[in-house]
Amino acid sequence: MRSSTVIVLLSCLVAGGCNAGHSAMGGAEQFGAGFSDAATAPLDVFNLRPEVIPTVLLQAQANPYDMRNMSRCSTIGAEVVRLDEALGPDMDEPPPVDGRYMSERAADATAQAALGAVRDTTTDFIPGSSWIRRLSGAAQHERAVQAAIQAGRIRRAFLKGIGMQRNCAPPAAPSWFVPARSPRR
C-alpha cells in the first residue's frame, strides 16, 4: 500500500471514536471483497474482461426517442425504472439517507482509497498501457460504454418529459412533479 493510504487509514481509525473497531472491520471486509477486482485491473487494459452493456442502454442508443408502446404512464414508468436500474438514480432523486456512523463512512472511504491504490499499482507496471488499450480494443469499448450511458440518460430525460406532458406520476415523470389531475392510463 502507498504511504498516503496508510496515513488516511490511521487517521480515520483515530478519529472514529468508540465505533472505530466495528467500522475498521467493515472497511477491511469491503477491502477484501474488492481486492480481486483491483488486483485484476490489468485484464481491463488488455480488454480481457470487457464490461457488459445492459440491453436497455443499447436500445436507448439505437433510438433514444422511440415512442413505440409508450402511450400509457405505466409503460413510461416501467421503462424509466429499467433505465434507473442500469444507470443508477437520476439527478432529480434525493440522495439516500446515510444513517451510518462517521467512522463507518471513513472506513468505507479508506477501503475505496486502498483499492484505488492497489488498482493503480497493478496497472502502473504495464509499459505503454495507453497503446495497449488502443490496440486491444479496451479504449474503443470504454467509449462504447460511455456512449450507451449517455444515450440512456438522454432517453430517461426524454421519457420523464413526455411523462410530465401527459401528466403522469413519478417514476414516469421527475420525482418532484405532482400531476394536476389523475394521470392517463
Instruction: Give the residue-averaged pLDDT of 121-142.
Output: 64
Reported confidence tier of residue 68, pLDDT bands at 50, 70, 90: very high
Q: Report the first-to-last Cα separation within the chain, whole angstroms.
A: 57
Residue 118 and residue 96: Cα distance in Å, rounded?
Answer: 29
Name the band, by pLDDT with cuts 50, 70 and 90, for residue 139: confident
Higher pLDDT, 5 or 170: 170
Q: Tell me, what amino acid is at 67?
A: M
What pLDDT score was predicted for residue 93? 80
Stretch 1-8: mean pLDDT, rounded? Answer: 50
Whole-angstrom CA distances from 27 to 105, 110, 111, 116 are 9, 7, 5, 14
Per-residue pLDDT, averaged over 96-123, amounts to 69
The letter for the amino acid at 13 is L
**Confidence tier at 122 by pLDDT (50, 70, 90):** low
Mean pLDDT check: name the lowest of 119-123, 137-141, 168-172.
Answer: 119-123
pLDDT at 166 over 60: yes
The percent of residues in the chain predicted with pLDDT above 70, rounded, is 55
- Burial label, 158 (beta-carbon count in 10 A; 0-12, 13-18, 19+): middle
What does the alpha-carbon distance between residue 172 and residue 121 come to, in Å, rounded to a whole number? 44
Average pLDDT over residues 70-80: 95
Q: Which pLDDT belongs to residue 152? A: 96
Residue 149: which of 88, 94, 96, 91 has the closest Cα?
88
Determine the pLDDT at residue 48. Answer: 52
Residue 101 DSSP class: -
Q: Looking at residue 102, what DSSP letter applies? A: H
Residue 169's closest CA among 58, 84, 90, 73?
A: 73
pLDDT mean across residues, the chain: 74
Quickly state the pLDDT bin for 18 (edges 50, 70, 90). Answer: very low
In whole angstroms, what is the distance from residue 115 CA to residue 123 CA? Answer: 12
Report pLDDT digits (tens) over 30-53: 555 555 554 455 555 554 556 788
Interior CA angle at 133 toward 129 and 138, to 5°?
145
